[in-house]
Amino acid sequence: MDYREFYDKDIVSIRDLSREQIETILDLSEEMIPIAKGEKRSKMLDGRIVGNLFFEPSTRTRLSFESAAHRLGADVIDVSQVSATSISKGETLADTIRMVDAYCDVIVLRHPYEGAARLAANVSENPVINAGDGAGSHPTQTLLDLFTMKRSKESLDGLNIAMVGDLKYGRTVHSLVDALTMFGAKLTFVAPESLQMPEDIVEHLKSKGCTPVQTASLEDVISDADVLYVTRIQKERFPDPAEYDKVAGTYRIDNAMLREAKKDMIVMHPLPRIDEIAPEVDNTEHAKYFEQAFNGIPVRMALLCSILGGEL
């Protein structure tokens, strides 16, 4: 397929994309790398405006969308605090989206509530990109995660992937598992019982022919993994702080633990990390998380180019 088929399309959930569509975006992302690194200049989105609406904290997603837009010659208008908008006076999200829709060509939305991006896409004339909705999904993170795996492992097919940490509230893994099943991944979910992958997602995976292994023991599975995808325990989503205290610090990846891993096993993390990966791991060949964060730029450039009608 041609990336131009994404023109004017929303990106709300990774489930809205086929394997072929994902591969098209990943191929285009590869072509964006020299522009993402500043080695090549582009004005392909000259005159277009990206509206970044971030109603939850973000470093990587917000700034990499902004960087991606600038690298392609687009302008950015942005909001990073609810208190700076008329939402603080009582305006609804739907009306806010209608207004921003009138001021830009594509809306990038991060919001604390699951379903917010779908609502925004329903009221906006211009396309909406979901930059994370509560514990729901984070489809652009999934695309950059896949891009990182593909660049490290050559092929995405049949990888053995262990996901560790907060699988209940971690929206990155909720999106990622959907995409990985399209590539025949073998999935292992490592979490304490209270933070295991939600049952509806596990059932959905089974309906697609993927039956994940679920365990609390990382030691039992680390030696077979091609990719160890580590997640932060999402303190801000726990209704009861005492429940967070029970699971905080459950897993910590360090060099001693990595001695059991395959030599070419990669460690990924959507970041931010707190204490779940020891800093000593950063200097090993396993560590891919900073490269992964950089990959947000070419992947988001590929999305903006496709959705806004850019030409390579």
Residues that bind ligand CP (CB under 6 A): 58-61, 132, 141, 270-272
Q: Which is nearer to ligand CP, 26 or 271 (CB)?
A: 271
Nearer Cβ to ligand CP (132/212) = 132
Strand segments (E) across 231-286? 266-268
Angle, helices 19-36/60-71, rounded to nearest 10 degrees: 70
Q: Which is nearer to ligand CP, 249 or 272 (CB)?
A: 272
Q: In the complex with ligand CP, which residue's Cβ is closer, 149 or 271? A: 271
> Could you give the residue ranges of the DSSP H alpha helices within the chain?
19-36, 60-71, 93-103, 116-123, 139-153, 171-182, 199-207, 241-247, 255-258, 289-294, 296-308
Q: How far is the CB of 67 from ligand CP (least distance, A)?
A: 12
- In angstroms, give the least distance from the CB of 13 to ligand CP: 16
Neighbour order of strands in the sheet with 49-54: 75-79, 49-54, 106-111, 128-133
- Minimum Å gap between C-beta 260 and ligand CP is 27
**Dihedral pair phi/psi, residue 110, rounded to 5°:** -115, 135
* Cα–Cα distance measured from residue 233 to residue 227, given in angstroms and rounded to the nearest whole number: 19
What is the nearest approach in angstroms of ligand CP to the Cβ of residue 229?
12
Nearest CB to ligand CP, comparing residues 60 and 118: 60
Least separation in angstroms between residue 50's CB and ligand CP is 15
Our CB check for ligand CP shows the closer of 127 and 132 to be 132
SS3 175: helix
Min dist CB 110 to ligand CP, Å, is 7
Tokens of residue 120, six digits: 């925004």
Distance of CA 238 to the CA centre of its chain: 21
Q: What is the CA radius of gyration of the chain?
A: 19
Q: Which two tokens stand for residue 210?
A: 């993927």
C-alpha 295/C-alpha 62 separation (Å) is 14
Alpha-carbon span 54 to 60, nearest angstrom: 12
C-beta closer to ligand CP: residue 132 or 165: 132
Closer residue to ligand CP in complex, CB, 115/272? 272
* Distance from C-alpha of 310 to C-alpha of 13, rounded to nearest angstrom: 22
Q: How far is the CB of 129 from ligand CP (least distance, A)?
A: 13
What is the C-alpha to C-alpha distance for residues 241 and 309, in angstroms, rounded to an integer?
46
Q: Smallest distance from the beta carbon of 309 to ligand CP, in angstroms?
A: 26
